[in-house]
Amino acid sequence: MKINRSLWLTLVAAAFIMLAAGAQAQVPQLINYQGQLTDANGNPANGNFTMIFKIFDAATGGSQLYAETQSVTVSNGVFNVLIGSVTSVPLNLFDSGTERHLEVTVNGTVLTPRRQFGSVPYAFRTRGSSGGGWTDDGSVVRLTTNTDNVGIGTTSPVTATGGRVLHIDNPSGASALRLGDGATNGQQWEWQSTVIGSNGAMNLSNVSNSTNPFTVLENGNVGVGTTTPGFLLNFADVGGDKISLWGQSGAHYGFGIQSGLLQIHTDIASSDIAFGYGSSGSFTERMRIKGNSNVGIGTTSPQQKLHVAGSFIRVDGSGNEQAYIGGDGAGSDVQIGSLNASISNVAMYNATTNAYMTLFAKEYKIGSSRRWKTNIKPIEGALDKVRRLRGVSYDWRADGKHDIGLIAEEVGEVIPEIVAYEENGEDAKGLDYSRLVALLIEAVKEQQKEIAELKATVKSLAAAKQSRLESVGE
């Protein structure tokens, strides 16, 4: 039979059967190849033929990379062979990624032209690996060499920090890995490597509704609902619930945003919010906000709107007054005072009416121990000073209330020690009426002395008069 040199050959399927090391290491690598053989008149051939299969790196000429001879049975012009069943096809034959061509010789006649392999043999190899490629054991397809890298859209996948990587690249733009659920109207998702502004970014994109729920920029900023995160963790500029720490819907423990308002909330009114340090399982509490709005500092069970378990509450004030209220445990009293050594007054003042307020108390005591005093001596001219004071009646400008008392500026001219002045040194703020007691005591004593002296004088005059009357009577 004369062989047709332009024999029609059809690549029905071509694939390497990649084998794992170990028990299957001796099984050859195969290419399934099917062709049609006819005579010079186009009649189908029948019988046994000697066929030589050679693989070259070029359509003509070039280098021979592989050769195998088989006795092939042809039936009604059709034959099927497994190239590699006699001489195994090297696993690295397609490693270079360049074209490969098959030349077939039948009974000494070389058939032309050579046939170029398609993509199937290449698909089972990773570029640049020796003895690597893919293994299909019937249920799992995997890399034969598990330390190999895989490149899609790149011939040089970069090794990851862990040493293994799936490298997807697109030299002309963004690259992506798409995942879908395959159901009717199912969602399609993509991991995208792209550029946002001047930053490289990775997006998790919902292709179905054209949204980008999650973005990571190259500087480490993470965006949830925004592709332009300006902080390490950034949410979309939309009001509503932002983070749920407990609860999948409805009322929950979490954080929210409303217009001009940051919300930190629990799920029900009986739940509390606590601040402290440590961990959730080993927590030292410092402050608690109860569901009933009571706030506790240093206590887990605040009994009032503000409950402080400690010595003092301190308010520095705009003038660094360092006011405090509390108790130091040294006595059975409540302390109201200042921690600033230059502050010596406490005022009960209504900032709305700009007027001093009335203080009601069962008792009012002033510290007066000799332990705290020096240069002690009696008040001189007390009675004269009292004579210079004048008691007046008046009406308060703030509320029109009628009252009696003294004029502080007038008192200051006589007894400056008991008058407090504004910073200008002229306008008086008030006076300490209680300290007038000391003046009045000394004034009364002076007056009593004068009375005693007058009594002695009257008695002496009366005695002299009686003596004269007796002299006249005689």
pLDDT above 90: residue 368: no
In a domain, 71, yes or no: yes
**pLDDT > 70: what percent of the chain?**
85
Instruction: Return mean pLDDT, the chain.
Output: 83
Domain count, the chain: 2
CA gap 443, 382 in Å, rounded: 5
CA gap 448, 438 in Å, rounded: 15
pLDDT above 70: residue 111: yes
- Residue 302 one-letter amino acid: P
Q: Domain with 64 in it: what CATH number?
A: 2.60.40
Over residues 338-359, the mean pLDDT reads 87
**199-244 pLDDT tens trace:** 888 888 888 888 889 999 999 999 999 999 999 999 999 999 999 9
For residue 31, give the nearest of 59, 75, 65 by alpha carbon: 65
pLDDT at position 183 is 61
Q: 200-216 as b/e, with b when 16 or more CB fall inside 10 Å?
A: ebebebeeeeeebbbbb
- Banded model confidence at residue 283, pLDDT cuts 50, 70, 90: very high
pLDDT above 70: residue 13: no
Tokens of 190: 């993509």
**Residue at which a domain ends, from 82, 102, 123:** 123
In a domain, 14, yes or no: yes
User: Which of 89-98, 323-332, 452-461 has the weakest average pLDDT?
Assistant: 89-98
**Residue at which a domain ends, from 107, 123, 139:** 123
In a domain, 417, yes or no: yes
Which residues form the domain of 53? Answer: 9-123
CB 13 within 8 A of CB 32: yes
Distances (CA, A) of 169 to 67, 132, 155: 36, 21, 9
pLDDT at position 128 is 38
CB atoms within 10 A of CB 430: 13
In a domain, 377, yes or no: yes
- Banded model confidence at residue 24, pLDDT cuts 50, 70, 90: very low
pLDDT at position 132 is 59
What is the Cα 97 distance to its own chain's centre? Answer: 48
- Banded model confidence at residue 456, pLDDT cuts 50, 70, 90: very high
**378-390 pLDDT tens trace:** 999 999 999 999 9
**Residue at which a domain ends, from 123, 153, 175:** 123
CA gap 263, 244 in Å, rounded: 12
Over residues 166-180, the mean pLDDT reads 75
pLDDT above 80: residue 164: no
User: Which of 10-24, 155-169, 240-254, 334-348 has the weakest average pLDDT?
Assistant: 10-24
pLDDT above 70: residue 341: yes
In a domain, 39, yes or no: yes
pLDDT at position 18 is 36
In a domain, 370, yes or no: yes
CB 344 within 8 A of CB 337: no
pLDDT at position 200 is 84
In a domain, 54, yes or no: yes
pLDDT at position 406 is 95
**140-154 pLDDT tens trace:** 777 777 677 777 777
Tokens of 196: 């946002």
**pLDDT > 90: what percent of the chain?**
46
CB 57 within 8 A of CB 63: yes
pLDDT at position 277 is 94
In a domain, 351, yes or no: no
CA gap 421, 9 in Å, rounded: 117
CA gap 42, 46 in Å, rounded: 13
pLDDT at position 403 is 94
